[in-house]
Every structure is written in C-alpha cells, then in structure tokens.
Chains A and B, each alone.
Chain A
Amino acid sequence: MKFDPADLLAVLPALWLVLGGCALALSEVFLGANPKRAYQPWLAAAFALLSLGTAARLAPESAHAIFGGAATADGFSAFIAVIVAGATALSALSAGGALREAGAERGEFYALVLFAAAGMDFLAMAADLVVLFIALEAMSLALYALAAYRRRARNAEAALKYFVLGSFSSAIFLMGAALCSGAAGSTRLADLANVPAGGSGAGLLLLLGAALLLVGLAFKVAAVPFHMWAPDVYEGSPTPVAGFMAAAVKAASFAALLRALLIAFGHAHGAAGPSMWEPIVATLAGATMLLGNVLALPQRSVKRMLAYSSIAHAGYLLVGVAAAGLGDAPTATGAVLLYLATYAAAVIGAFAVIGLVERGGDGAGADDLDRFSGLAQRHPGLAAAMAAFMLSLAGVPPTAGFIAKLYVFRAAMAAPLTGLAVLGVLTSVAGAYYYLRIIVYMYMRTPDGETAPIARHATAGVAIAAALLIVVAVGVGPESLAKFAIASAALASP
C-alpha cells in the first residue's frame, strides 16, 4: 500500500483533535505546577473549533478513497466531523467550571475527550472492517476512562458497566467482522457487497456476520434491546461526559452504521448485495422509540431521563436509517445527518445546564427534578435555555428539533414507512410529557427548602449560549444547515 501524503489533508480534522489532545496532555507536564488551569477548556475548544473549521471546508465533492481504500473521505464523513468537533468544543467548555469546582480539572480530561473525538472522525470515514473496529475501540477506550474520571463510587460503577458491556459488544462486532471477511475474502466494506446472496455458504456466512455487526453497532447507539447500559452509564458519568456521549458517540456510531449498511449490505435501490436489513432496522427503530420514551416517563433523575430520551432519539434516527434502506437513500441520510446535528446541540446544552444545577449537591439526587424547582425565578436565562432544549428534544416548533423530525418523518413517509412514522409521532407525544415536566418544575413549582446557589462560569455560559443559538437559529432558519446536510448525504461508493 502506497502512502499518499495528500491523504493527510482529508484527515486533518482528526489530526487537529489529536494534536490538541497531545498539547493538553503535555500541558500537565510542563505547566502542571501552575495551579491555574482555566486556559484548558478554552484550549481544547480552540482545537475542536479548528477541526470544525477544517471539516466544514472539506467540500462534499472532494469524496475519494484514502489510505489505499481503507477509509473514505466524503461529505458524509466531513459532516460527522463537524458534529463531533462541535460537540467536543461545547462539552469541553461546559466541563470547565464543573471540573474546577470539584478540584478535578486536569489536562488529561480534555486530552481524553479530544482523543475520543479523533476516534469518532475515523469511525465516520472507515471503509474497512479493521479500520472500523480500531476507530470504534479508539473512541470507546477514551470514553471508558472518561466515565470513570472522577473516581467516585458511582463513576466507577458506571465506568465498569460501560467497559464490560462495551467490550462485550466489541467482541460481537469483531466476530461479525471475522465472519464477513471470511465470506468475502476481504475486509473492505465494498467487497462485502459482491458476495452472492442466497443459500450459498458464503451468503449464509455473510448473513450471520452482518447480523453480528448490526448487534455490535446497535449496542453503541443504544438501540433496544441493546440499550441497558445507557441509563446507568449516563447517570453515573460526570455530567459533561454524559452529554458528550449522547451527542458525539451517537453521531459517530450512526455514521458507521449507515456506511456499513449502505455500502456493504446494499439497499433496496442499489443492485448490489442483499437488502435484508431494512425490516430488521425498522423493527429495532419501533422498539427503541417505544421503549425509550415509555421508560423515560417515570424517571426522576434528569440525567437518567435524558439517557432514556437518548435511546428514544436513537429510535427516530433508526427510522431514518430504515428509510435509507427502503427509499431514497441520500434524502434519508441527509435527514439523519440533520437530526444528529440538532440533537447534539440540544442534548449538550441540556447536560450543560444540568451540570450547573446539580452542582450544589453531589451523589444520588443531585440531578433530581426537585433541584429544578423554581429555576425560572432564580435564573431566568438558564431556565429559558433549558426550556428551549427540552422543546427541541420534544420536537416542538420553532426549534431545531422540529425541523429535524420533519426531515426524518418526511423521509419515512416517502420510503414508505407510514406505520413507523405513525408510531414515531405517537411516541413523541409521550416524549413531550417528560420534557415538559422539566419546564413544569422550572416555571410552575416553587422549591421546597433551601436551594443551593448556582455558580456562574464563563465557559459553561458560552457553551449553553452557543447551543441555544444553534437550537433557535436552526429552528427559525433551517435552510443553510439543511442544505449542508443534504449536500453531504451522498456516500462515496468506492
């Protein structure tokens, strides 16, 4: 395999992240004695923004195979890199104040976030099962460490659970990859598409391998019935990490899922390969929307509630994936991309607010609904931002979440997946109930006793304001982002 230096240009977004990670890790060595680490979140965000800027400039038409075909740099991967970089910047900023208050502000934290993000960039580009697996692990290993970052009992439990179940899913994925490459004699996704379908030995092997690959990725996106880890991990992880997981991990994993399914296993309108996965994904989508929304209803811990909500959102995204398998793939893929972007902004914003609100207390109950009581009286700006995030997650216009749902359901109706779309909108009504409940607490209840004061942090404030701007601006003027998403939707087929 010949190394072409021009390939580095295509992975520049990821390189910025790696560079930033190195810089922050080294800053501890050289500047570790300096007790003021306030520059760290800003530095991490700066590197993430560099990555974002580079990714946004990688034009969609520049799609080409890199590293001898092991990865693809196309608009799709660039768009995911934009989401990942944006999520990284916002998460780093929202983590800043919280970590300092807990006396846990270290360069390692930001380094881990940036390394995980670099893994995600590669995950979105991977066109080879081995690259896919390595990127998946690069992302996951950093996240396991992040989940355990604060070394308290809850963190450790969450991290261990995440690690054990994550490794389990990685093993399943690896098994699937082995079977697939056995069937095709190659680890390239594109080569899998050439395996003859049907009853032949290779076809059966591929079928089994594809099923295992799907299970492995379904774990990562927390689709029902592979969702059990999510609530515990979200609840136990440091709050900014939970937001990062919900936004960025979801974006990267869905990118891998879409690319693997569409390139390796074909879709209804592509001639190549078996297209048997659409009904399976549709079933997963239905179950995920239903269970995620229903299980979110009784939660009192807001982080846990958002964990179930993130499962539910995985369901809506899977509707888009299923629509890509049945109907017009670029339209549906564009809808999924738009959905990932708007969901990332809203969910990171929400976790940033939780990070501020839960601060006074610690341990169990720190993120109980009660802590939001009367927030609108004490901190009207914070409450208004949280309300906007909740409405966006619920898909109420005029927020970004509504626009995203509109695109996804349009793709589903066109596919046609009418039944799934009906189930989707009906479960979103259940969703509205629990999102509204936070607004009820913030605006319509008064706190029972003393309320812990909420510290003001410039970093978290910037993160929340930026997320709010995205949620409102995309809701009011969706065209530019929507156009970007649609232009990025075409997967480069090698």
Chain B
Amino acid sequence: MMLVATIFLPLVGALFLLAIPGDAKALHRGVSLLTSLVTLGLAVALWTNFDGAQAGFQNEVQATWAPSLGISFHLGIDGVSLLLIALTAFLGPIVVASTFHAIDTRVKEFSIALLVLETAMLGTFAALDLVLFYVFWEAMLIPMYILIGVFGSERRIYATVKFFLFTFAGSVLMLLAILFLYGKLPEGSRSFDYGALLTLSLSHEEQLWLFAAFALAFAIKVPMFPLHTWLPDAHTEAPAAGSVLLAGVMLKMGTYGFFRLAMPLFPEAALAAQPLIAGLAVTGIVYGALMCMAQSDVKRLIAYSSISHLGFVMLGLAVLTPEAVTGAVYQMLNHGVSTGLLFLVIGMLYERRHTRAMDAYGGIAKVTPGLAAVFFIATLASVGLPGTNGFVGEFLVLSGTFLGKAALAQAWSVIAAIGVILGAVYMLTLYQKVFLGKLSAVNEKLRDLSLREWAVTLPLCIAIVWMGLLPGPFLDLMKKPVQSMTERVVGKPAAPERPHFPGALPPKLQPPRLPWMNHVPSMLEGVKK
C-alpha cells in the first residue's frame, strides 16, 4: 500500500489544488512543495523497507481494474524501479522549490501539471501490467505538454507539439504490440500482466516485429540517434523545471522500457538487434558530443549532451553483460542527478539575465562564486571525473562493453571512450566561456545564489559526490534485477573466467578494492594495465 500511496499522493495534491483559487499563489506553492516532500518521505520509507537481496518484485499490489479486458491494476517494484522512483521523488521537491521565483503567472496550472506529471512518472516505473504501463506512459505526455507549451520560451508551441507527436507516434505501435501479446496468451487466461506475458514463447519473426514496435517507442523517448530531433527543441524551450524533469526522469522512461519490457519480453530479438542498438548508441554518443561543440545556446548544448550520455546507457543495455547493464542503470541515475543540476543552474542564470546565449556571459565566477561552484560540480559529474557519480557509471559501461562477448565490443568501447574525451572538451569549454574570462559590465550586478537556491542545488551536489564515492548500496539494489534481466536474454553465464594478464601485480601490491569494484570482477586489473 505504501507504493500506491507514494505514486498517487502527488495526484491527490493536484486534486486538492484544483479547489484552491488561482490567485493564492503562495498556497499553491506551499501545497505542492509539501506534497512532493511527503512523497519523498514515502519513497525513502519504501527504500528502507526494501530487501535488496531478494529477487523478483516487492510491495506488489494487484487489484482488478477492467477484468472484461484483462487489465489489472498491478504494481510492484524491484531494485531498479525503486532507484528510479527514488530519483523521481528526490527531484520532485527540488523542482517545485526551484520555480518559486521563475514561475509567477498561472501558478495553479503549473503546480497541478507538475504534480500530475510526478504521479505518472512514478506509476510508469512501478506498473506491472502492460496497459497500466501504457496509461501512465501516455499520461505523462499531457502535463509535460502543458509545462512546455504554456511556460516555455519563444518557440514553445512548436517544441511542445513536436514533443507530443513524436512520443505519441512512437507509442501507438507499442500499444498494438501489447494487444498482439495479449492475443497470444491462451484463451481464458488472457491478460496484460507482465509476469504472464514473460511466459509466452514467441517465434523469432514475431519477436523481431514486436521488439521493433516496443523499441521504436522507447528509442524515441531515450532518445536514440536518429530519433532525437524532438529533444533539443523540447529541452531548450521548456521552463527550467520542465527541462529538469524531462532530462532527469522522462528520458529514463525509454531506457527503463528497454530494460523492463523490450529486452526481457523478446530476448532473441534483443540479441539480434544488439549490433544495431549498440551502433546507434555509439553514434549517438559521438554525434551528441560533436553537436554540443557547435552550440552557442547553453541549454541546447546540455540537451545535446543528454543525447550523448543516454548513448552510454543504451550501449550498456545493448551489450547485455551484467557489468555493462549495471553501469547503464547507474548512468540513468547519474544523468538524472547531474543533468538535472545543470538545467537547474542554467535556469537560475536565465532568471538573472534572460538569455541562454553563451556569449552573453563570461567571467561571472567572479561575481557569482557559489553558482560557479555548483555548476562546476555538475560539470565534473557530467564529464565523469573519478570521485563523482559519472565516473562509476561510465567506467562500468565501458569496461563491461570492452570485455563483453558482443561483436565489435572493443571497437564500440573505444568509440564511446572518444565520446568521454569529447564530453570533457565541450563541458569544460562551456564552463570556461560562461564562468571564466573577462567579466562584461552588464554581468557585474549578477546576484549569487540565494538561500532557496542553495537549498535546491546542494542536495544534488551531495548526491553527486555520495554516489561517486559510495556507490555500493545503489549497486547492490541493482544486482538482482540486472542479473535476472541479463540471464533471461543471454542465458546464465558460464563459470566466471578470470582472465590472467601476464605481469599483473601480485595480490598484495594491488590497490584496495572499493565496494563497487566487486561488480567488475577481476577485469579491473586488466583495465588498470
């Protein structure tokens, strides 16, 4: 029941807001902040009651919804769902509090859209009935459509319609695929239940078609190259809060969809599509990075960097080794935190100067040292510096890919590694252009972070460092779900082979093993060489 409460509390808050008159702005802000904080509290409680050592789903809730169609209200979480729910609930109050200043008109609509969006996102991560999943998945579109279209900048209508149509077009074919799966179950026991559909045995050709339908929906959401074109527009035009949720949570819907649905349901097809997905993923990594270098708009740059970062996630998922998939899931969380923070800070800059052009800034670290410091931490996380969360994820993905058995694995990891280098180049260039250099006269009066702004950025900074230094608890939670997913798709791995590298350091000279290194069994030595 706690899961249901966590998911639907924001919706209850939104319904409550409906009854409050629109001019009581402070009340709207207060209620939405309170709601999202309590939701966060519930998510924390979920986490503490969660048993990471147990395989399968926990906190399951199953109730009939539309039995004549076989839809049930089936929710449940495993470690990966839990982490993503925690991420969503964590970003919730931050996003709400970050908009107290930026959004001053139509606060009621804004708050309602934000809370409804939160419920839809939380529900998507917990749905274990495919139609329920689809309902949450589509329900996300409407509030986000309003957030971008009403509260965005100049080209908001174009951006929001493009966003809606791209995502909608992708997902309708998924709906047909879901209906097809339903029809494959024997008459009498037909349902849309995830567990039941996992038992289906589908022919190779069916799997390919169905995987294609699911993958299209998810690839648009991720977004994977070349289906990414909605993203720069949507991110750029969205209000800061919208960008944070879009980048922080919504893009993970796509990768989560691959992890939870597309790959486990159609394992043969997932393997068959491996070269394609991995190829598009590394293309996205490099393409996104190159596009970043060409941007003069700060927000657009971060948007393209998302394409590059999500490329890592997709690469890790495609490779299907436990390490790489673990890294991919970790990278989902990282991207949520670090890119969320980047968009927040850019939103704060925009509030001050009302421009997103890189040239308009320069040298402002002198007047806004706090803002610069926060941005720098986010930059480092985004670049993947050791000690930040980005490093752990990227390292796991790259090493998992390199040592995986997939065709061309080494080539992919090398190309992806080039993406890491390019990432450092564009992110540091961005930092340099905005915060270092000569301070122009117009920028001399910029204020530094206010107390409220510190309050919203600091938790994210702490998360970045925490997840970088102590990833153990997070990785432990992923272990079982990742294991069951990869085993389902590629089968149980043979006895772990410990590659012997001639000239490896004798055991006592080896560096101390950090907890997360256990997830990189033995290959650590090799990579260190």
A residues touching B (Cβ–Cβ < 8 Å)? 376-377, 380, 391, 396-398, 402-403, 406-407, 409-410, 413-414, 416, 418, 421-422, 425-426, 428-429, 432-433, 436-437, 439-440, 443-445, 477-479, 482-483, 486
Contacts and interface: CB of A to CB of B under 8 A. Distances in A.
B421 interface: no
9 nearest A-B residue pairs (beta carbon): A425-B172, A397-B135, A413-B179, A444-B149, A429-B169, A479-B66, A397-B138, A482-B68, A478-B66
A407 B146 CA distance: 28
Contacts of A380: 22, 109
Contacts of B139: 397-398
Residue among B106, B138, B175 with max Cβ neighbours from chain A (10 Å): B175
A23 B67 CA distance: 43
A436 B69 contact: no
A413 B180 CA distance: 6
A440 B159 CA distance: 12
B204 to A, nearest CB: 18
A487 to B, nearest CB: 9
10 contacts: A397-B135, A397-B138, A426-B173, A429-B165, A429-B172, A432-B164, A432-B168, A433-B165, A479-B65, A482-B66
A414 B182 CA distance: 9
Interface string B33-72: 0000000000000000000000000000000111111000
B276 interface: no
Contacts of A477: 65
Contact of A398 (B22, B135, B179): B135
B161 interface: yes
B478 interface: no
B168 A429 contact: yes
Contacts of B68: 479, 482-483, 486
Contacts of B176: 409, 413, 418, 421-422, 425
Contact of A436 (B64, B66, B164, B179): B164
B183 A414 contact: yes
Interface in B148-193: 149-150, 156-157, 160-161, 164-165, 168-169, 172-173, 175-176, 179-180, 182-183
B144 interface: no
Contacts of B256: none
Nearest to B161: A436
B179 A396 contact: no
Nearest to B22: A380
Interface in B379-438: none
B266 interface: no
B245 to A, nearest CB: 18
A444 B156 contact: yes
A482 B164 contact: no
A366 B360 CA distance: 46
A444 to B, nearest CB: 4
B145 interface: yes
B142 interface: yes
Contacts of B328: none
Given A397-B139, A409-B176, A432-B165, A440 B183 contact: no
Residue among A407, A428, A479 with max Cβ neighbours from chain B (10 Å): A479
Interface of B: 22, 64-69, 106, 109, 131, 134-135, 138-139, 141-142, 145-146, 149-150, 156-157, 160-161, 164-165, 168-169, 172-173, 175-176, 179-180, 182-183
Given A410-B183, A439-B149, 16 more contacts: A397-B135, A406-B69, A406-B179, A410-B182, A413-B179, A413-B180, A414-B183, A421-B179, A422-B176, A426-B169, A440-B149, A444-B157, A479-B67, A482-B66, A482-B68, A483-B68
Contacts of B145: 436, 439
Contacts of B141: 396
Residue among A376, A406, A414, A418 with max Cβ neighbours from chain B (10 Å): A406
Contacts of B169: 426, 429
B69 A440 contact: no
B186 to A, nearest CB: 13
**Interface residues of B: mostly helix, strand, loop or mixed?**
helix
A338 to B, nearest CB: 10
A17 to B, nearest CB: 30
Contact of A407 (B65, B69, B160, B175): B69
Contacts of A422: 173, 176
Contacts of B64: 479
Given A376-B109, A398-B135, A398-B139, A409 B164 contact: no
Contacts of A437: 161
A477 B68 CA distance: 12
B247 to A, nearest CB: 22
B146 A425 contact: no
A327 to B, nearest CB: 10
Nearest to A432: B168
A444 B106 CA distance: 11
B175 A425 contact: yes
Contacts of B134: 397
Contacts of A483: 68
Nearest to B67: A479
Contacts of B142: 391, 396
A479 B71 CA distance: 10
A428 B138 contact: no
A414 B164 CA distance: 29
A469 to B, nearest CB: 15
Given A413-B179, A413-B180, A440-B149, A425 B66 contact: no
Nearest to A479: B66
A440 B161 contact: yes
A472 to B, nearest CB: 12
Contacts of B67: 479
Contacts of B180: 413, 418
Contacts of B160: 440, 444
A413 B183 contact: yes
A409 B149 contact: no
A410 B138 contact: no
Contacts of B65: 477, 479
Nearest to B132: A397
Contacts of A479: 64-68
Contacts of A376: 109
A439 B179 CA distance: 29
A92 to B, nearest CB: 29
Contacts of B66: 403, 478-479, 482
Nearest to A431: B168
Contact of A433 (B131, B161, B173): B161
A346 to B, nearest CB: 15
Contacts of B106: 377
A433 B163 CA distance: 11
B136 to A, nearest CB: 8
A380 B108 CA distance: 11
Contacts of B161: 433, 436-437, 440
Contacts of B138: 396-397, 402
Contacts of A443: 109, 146, 149-150
Given A422-B173, A425-B173, A436-B164, A410 B146 contact: no
B166 to A, nearest CB: 10
Contacts of B182: 410, 413
A426 B183 contact: no
A406 B165 contact: no
Nearest to B183: A414
Nearest to A391: B142
Residue among B139, B145, B179, B180 with max Cβ neighbours from chain A (10 Å): B179
Contacts of A414: 183
Contacts of A429: 165, 168-169, 172
Residue among A409, A410, A416, A443 with max Cβ neighbours from chain B (10 Å): A410
A437 B165 CA distance: 12
A300 B165 CA distance: 20
Contacts of B157: 440, 444-445
Nearest to A409: B179
Nearest to B149: A444
A274 B193 CA distance: 39
